[in-house]
Structure 1
Amino acid sequence: MQGVWRELAGLVLPVDCAGCGRPRTELCARCRRALARDGRGPRRVRPWPVPAGLPRVWAGAPYADEVRAVLLAHKERGALRLAGSLGEVLAGAVRGLCGGSPQLLVPVPSARRAVAGRGHDPVRRTALAAARELRRSGGAARVLAVMRQRRAVSDQAGLSARERLANVAGALEVPGASGRLLTGRSVVLVDDLVTTGATLAEAARAVRAAGGRVTGAAVVAAPRSAFALEEAAAVSLPRGG
């Protein structure tokens, strides 16, 4: 019900831009450009160190400034209509990863207590918006929200990369009949943000344990350092041969 009331309030109450605070616009043109990386589009990203089992990851925008503000407004402050704009960015990351081939998107789950507190599941909402955008542009995409947390995890904020890996190890699963829906199928993991890659590596493990094949992962945003590391790696690759 919290989500319903927030959507109704957004229709009748004046809003400010979620990215920069400009009045009377939910998302201004400048912040829309920031979400689109000012025209540079999605890129493959690489956290460091790379955790074992992490698939290829593509991100739509750097997690900084306006992009960070928009993600937090959607996730923590219930600005639910931003899911459409964030879904467009996520759809771009999916296209970068997979081209135009049909996609089965599996969102990384939020903890039940977090969903109850926020009144919605931001990653699932954004994934659904991304699938709509992919279908609108002629692609075939659907969301299968079959993953869940099998045990509680600590807040990841402030943890090192090694601590994050230990925190989420074995924390996700695709249970029972849900797992059979993934057997032999190619899956794209989706999330709003990648930092160390620990959660995506654990999500990939859970999908593989259920018999699915992980094509890669797509996220709305990643730290600038993750963009820079992948770009540096691409430059250093030998040419030809």
Structure 2
Amino acid sequence: MGGWWQEIAGLVLPADCAGCGRPRVVLCGECRDALCGRAARRVWPDPVPAGLPPVHAAARYGDAVRSVLLAHKERGGLPLAEPLGAALAGAVRVAGCSGAGWGVRARRGPLLLVPVPSARRAVAGRGHDPGRRIGLAAARALRSAGVPARVAAVLRLCRAVADQSGLDAGQRRVNVSGAMGVVGGVDRLWREGGPVVLVDDLMTTGASLAEAARAVSGAGGRIVGAAVVAAAPRAFESNRN
């Protein structure tokens, strides 16, 4: 099984580790450990945007973790969704357990992973939706570990937003303020599903997660936290635990 998986991976990835460039491996053990080998931690952007739920991150953004995220998002490294999803699943479990309502999850339906949406032009340009793909991988990892979970891709961008890169925290908040909405017909999903954990690949200022929380909460979703693969180093430095 490993042979054909490596062969298929070679069609979309160079035969080098996406994190450190080590040859003949999609992701080496050291880089996988940097990505998902540690317990997820609570992180805080500085300043904390209004309405941001508690956020947990699997790793610090930088070095190998940064390289892996960019290889998946921008260079079509689709096999990397599996280890990225495993990292996200660890953060989701901590975020869900830390939030109110986890104890009644089994009676309320599966844990709902709601990805932060990407702009349509970005998805079209990349050829895939990296946030949703990682979320699906995380849900599979959670189910394999005995945690009922599913992805609920119910968020949409209601208007155009600028590229967030290069914007400071205040500009990012203004850029995404009121930009997200929830698709129609979610009432049944909220009734039959469990609590909601917002998911994304990266948190820098927290503006997108705060806007996602506003949209989901306004539509009746019961958010218990947010989880990301990686957070900016400053968010770890501001850790209050």
TM-score bracket for the superposition, by shorter chain length: 0.7 to 0.9
Determine helix, strand or coil for the equivalent of 1:138: coil
- 1:132 match: 140
1:188 to 185, 189, 197: 197
Runs of at least 5 residues in structure 1 that lack an aligned partner in the other structure: 1-6, 235-241
Contact kept in structure 1, 2:41 and 2:57, CA below 8 Å: yes
The equivalences for 1:77-226 within 5 A come to: 77-99=75-97, 101=105, 102-178=110-186, 180-182=188-190, 186-226=195-235
Note the aligned Cα RMSD (angstroms): 1.9
One-letter amino acid matched to 1:35: L
Residue of structure 1 in register with 2:4 after alignment: none
Equivalent residue number for residue 15 of structure 2: 15
Instruction: Note the C-alpha offset of 1:225.
Output: 1.6
| Rounded Cα–Cα distance in structure 2 between residues aligned with 1:10 and 1:152 | 36
Q: Distance in 2 between matches of 1:79 and 1:13?
A: 6
**Structure 1 residues 180, 15: CA separation in 2 closer, same or farther (over 3 Å shift)?**
same
> Per the alignment, do residues 9 and 142 of structure 1 end up closer, same or farther by CA in structure 2, a change over 3 Å counting?
closer
Superimposed CA distance per residue, residues 190-237 of structure 1 (whole angstroms, 9 cap, x where no aligned partner): 00000000000000000011111111100000012211211xx22xxx
Pair 1:227 & 2:225 matched: no
The alpha-carbon deviation at position 183 of structure 1 amounts to 5.7
Gaps of 5+ in 2: 1-6
Q: Cα 1:59–1:161, aligned 2, differ >3 Å: closer, same or farther?
A: same
Question: Is the 1:183–1:210 contact (alpha carbons within 8 Å) kept by the matching residues of 2?
Answer: no
Q: Tell me the matched-pair count.
A: 224
- C-alpha contact (below 8 Å) 1:57/1:219 kept by paired residues: yes
Deviations 1:93-114 (A, max 9, x none): 0111123754110111111111
Amino acid at match of 2:21: G
Query: How far apart are residue 181 of structure 1 and its match?
Result: 2.6
TM-score (norm 1): 0.88
Q: Structure 1's 31 and 150: CA in aligned 2 closer, same or farther, altered over 3 A?
A: same
Instruction: Give the alignment's TM-score, normalised by structure 2.
Output: 0.88
Residues 32 and 177 of structure 1, relative CA distance in 2, 3 Å threshold: same
**Alpha-carbon distance in 1 for matches of 2:114, 2:9:** 30
Amino acid at match of 1:213: R
Q: 1:34 corresponds to which residue?
A: 34
